[in-house]
A and B are shown apart, each in its own frame.
Chain A
Amino acid sequence: MKAIALGINGFGYSVFADCSVPFMNSLFMSFPRGVVENRERLDAKSAWEVITEGLEGKVTLANIPVAEITAGVVSLPASISEPELEMGEILKAFSKVNEGIMLASVNSYDNIIRSGAGDRCAAAGTIDAYVRKLYELSDSFMLFSPFGEVLEGKRDVYGIYISTVPRPREDETVKLHELPGLIMMLLEAP
């Protein structure tokens, strides 16, 4: 059993309204979904410290932005703004995982929207194509964002959450500290 939990920083449901992300859209329509709500830890480092809490040794970490050079089996500058390169490395690493959960962070999207230097929809499209490839390699899958986009200069506190495994309390938003437990549930998939 092999699962991936992919966290895309700064990715909100606004992307589904503004851009073409056909594969994520099909996941959205097909699997249990929800909304991550995070009002306190709106930067990647502090959010990921909570998300990875208690998971060390239980999952394969990849590209976790807790330092300038990301931690885990994928190690890149946290300031990366090339989704193709970043997603390619994550895909390569997940291909080598035989069993268990890989928890990976995608940092380039948020870097692009915060700098305003790139095309957000083009980045989302690239990530979407790789999400499809990662999904095809996995038995169980979760897509989330620790926080939403920067829109009109303001950080959206709502992020996405889509998982092949149903979660308890679906009529509540997902809080950051609940993510480690939900990630471990990926191994409970039938």
Chain B
Amino acid sequence: MPDEIECLSYDELHEFIESAERAVVDFWAPWCAPCHVLHRMLIGLYSQFPNVQFARIDTQKYPMAAEEFEVYGLPTLIMFADGRAVNRVVGVPSRDYLIRALKELSMA
């Protein structure tokens, strides 16, 4: 288990989503304060979901990622099962809500 959530480039994004059975991608930008809060929440939670792969992508560096996945607000978490988007969380959710959503994904 890595001790940090991997930062992807746009080129790596598709391969990441397609290769993981269950994946979570955190769309963020350095200037976005709530993104830093959400990132910390994910750091605290990801080890509880060993069958889910986590990564993040900086939309300021790769705006085409935000365009392609129709990300209109930051932070946005998109959850994927078998390469298909199955859930989307916009903004900073409560920890309980996030845990519920991750549990659902890990059991999907």
A binds B: yes
- Residue positions of A touching B, CB distance < 8 A: 12-14, 16-18, 28, 33-35, 37, 152, 158, 160-162, 170-173
> B residues within 8 A CB of A171?
29, 31, 60
Q: Is the CB of B37 within 8 A of A35?
A: no
Q: Is the CB of A33 within 8 A of B40?
A: no
Say which residue of A17, A37, A173 sits within 8 Å of B44 (CB atoms): A17
- Residue positions of B touching A, CB distance < 8 A: 3, 29-33, 36-38, 40-41, 44, 60
- In Å, the complex CA distance between A1 and B69 comes to 47
Q: Contacts A16-B37, A17-B37 given: A158-B3 contact, CB under 8 Å?
A: no
Q: Contacts A17-B44, A18-B44, A152-B3 given: A37-B37 contact, CB under 8 Å?
A: no
Q: Is the CB of B31 within 8 A of A34?
A: yes
- CB closest chain-B residue, reference A171: B31
Q: Is the CB of B36 within 8 A of A35?
A: yes
In the assembled complex, how far is the CB of residue A6 from the closest CB belonging to chain B, in whole angstroms?
A: 17
> A residues within 8 A CB of B44?
17-18
Q: List 13 A-B contacts (CB under 8 A).
A: A12-B40, A13-B40, A14-B36, A17-B38, A17-B40, A17-B41, A18-B44, A35-B30, A35-B31, A152-B3, A161-B33, A173-B30, A173-B31
- In Å, the complex CA distance between A33 and B37 comes to 13
